[in-house]
Amino acid sequence: MKKCSECNVEMLENGYISGQHPFEVGVDGRTDIKIHIPTSEEESFFGIKYNKEIVKEPKVRICPKCGKVELYVDINE
């Protein structure tokens, strides 16, 4: 667990973001916010080359003492 840089308390992890416009909301009512992480690998689609991306949903860390919020991505998941 990560500690808050402001008050040195362990932060609560695995929160998520929800909201309305301008975010698209899916059928299940959750927002569809994704983080696109570029890689050095190339892929091809019908002969058109492009850089491969890793696509992840952002997670949220929250400090229970001061309320500081951080976004993060679990790359290994």
Q: Is 7 among the domain residues?
A: no
The label of the residue with tokens 């570029």 reads 38
pLDDT tens, residue by residue, 6-62:
999 999 998 887 665 555 556 666 556 778 888 888 888 898 888 888 888 888 999
Q: Is 6 among the domain residues?
A: no
Q: Is 65 among the domain residues?
A: yes
Structural domains of the chain, count: 1
Structure tokens at 45: 């689609």
pTM: 0.61
Domain that holds residue 25: 12-72
Instruction: Report the alpha-carbon distance of residue 4 to residue 75 in Å, rounded.
Output: 21
Please list, in sequence order, all residues whose beta carbon lies within 8 angstroms of the beta carbon of residue 9, skipping any fewer than 6 positions away: 3, 63, 64, 65, 66
Query: Would you call 15 helix, strand, or coil by DSSP?
Result: strand
Q: Is 32 among the domain residues?
A: yes
Q: Is 44 among the domain residues?
A: yes
Instruction: Report the alpha-carbon distance of residue 3 to residue 63 in Å, rounded.
Output: 8
Give Cα separations from 12 to 3, 54, 58 (angstroms): 9, 25, 15
